Amino acid sequence: MCEIMLDSPFRERWAGRDPFAEAFHLDGESFRKVKSRHTFRFEIGGKGYFAKLHQGCGWKEICKNLLQFKRPVLGADNEYHALLHLKRIGVDTMTPRAYGMRGKNPARLQSFLITEELTDVVSLEDLCRDWKEKTPEFRLKSALIRKLGGMTGKMHRSGLNHRDCYICHFLLKKATASSPDPVLHVIDLHRAEIRGRVPYRYLVKDVAGLFFSAMDTGITSRDILRFIRAYSARPLRQELAGNRGFYADVRKAARKLYRKEFSKVAPL
């Protein structure tokens, strides 16, 4: 198996060369480095890019995931295809500029993914960090909740679930903060899954992840209802009448995450 996609500037710079050799010779500011994966930032011509290099996860990791009934992440293909999927359905995310994957042994696949750096952005986690003590403008808060709910609902209805769905993985374009329709980019999709329909437990997991990660931002019951309306893309009364059990399961899962993480009762 061998898949390669090269866009500018890598198509021109790597013309006639082995793209895998070129990608694995790149280096830069390291953001995450584990045994099988390295994520780092580098520049070409003054423009920033992020690279993720995968060296194969090994049979031990594959078996561990299968025993836990989880789909193992074998390389960069997961994230690459998730990015293309989100682009097709109109959800803002990262832009891939180079991708490659090769090998026959699932435990030893070699792959890389290079994306454009997102500039002038702030994660929702950082943006909302002080909201509990310093109440934000109502217009900003409600616009972000509607946008976050709408994006997540669109992803789920299209068949994609994130698996690491926390507010830290949504980046706000700062220049759009005062807009009624702010621009949010969803990132870190290396564990994302795409199916014809997202299984119930993964819908719960994604939405509970958002709820859990926002619990200490000062969100209210009204904010949660705004999210539900945007997430479901239908009238609130109708959504709650048909799916109240789903949101009860989301709250239960989020509160369990909060207790596990902070060893105390969740505020909501």
Q: Any idea what DSSP says for residue 42?
A: E
Residues 108-126, buried b or exposed e (16+ Cβ, 10 A)?
Answer: ebbbbbbbeebeebebbbe
CA–CA gap between residue 26 and residue 202 (Å, rounded): 35
Question: What are phi and psi for residue 214, nearest 5 degrees?
Answer: -105, 0
- Tokens at 218, concatenated: 């000062």
Could you tell me where the DSSP H helices lie in the chain?
10-13, 19-23, 59-67, 77-89, 124-127, 138-157, 200-214, 221-232, 236-262
Cis bond before residue 235 (omega within 30° of 0): no
Task: Give Cβ neighbours of residue 253 (< 8 Å, ≥ 6 apart).
Answer: 204, 205, 208, 212
Active-site residue, 223 included: no
Report residue 43 as tokens.
């520049």
Cβ within 8 Å of residue 25, ≥6 positions away: none
User: Which is the catalytic residue, given 164, 216, 223, 249?
Assistant: 164
Task: Determine the Cα–Cα distance for residues 206 and 199; give it in Å rounded to an integer.
Answer: 11
- The three state secondary structure string of 46-111 is CEEEEEEEECCCCHHHHHHHHHCCCCCCCCCHHHHHHHHHHHHHCCCECCEEEEEEECCCHHHCEE
Catalytic residue annotation:
164
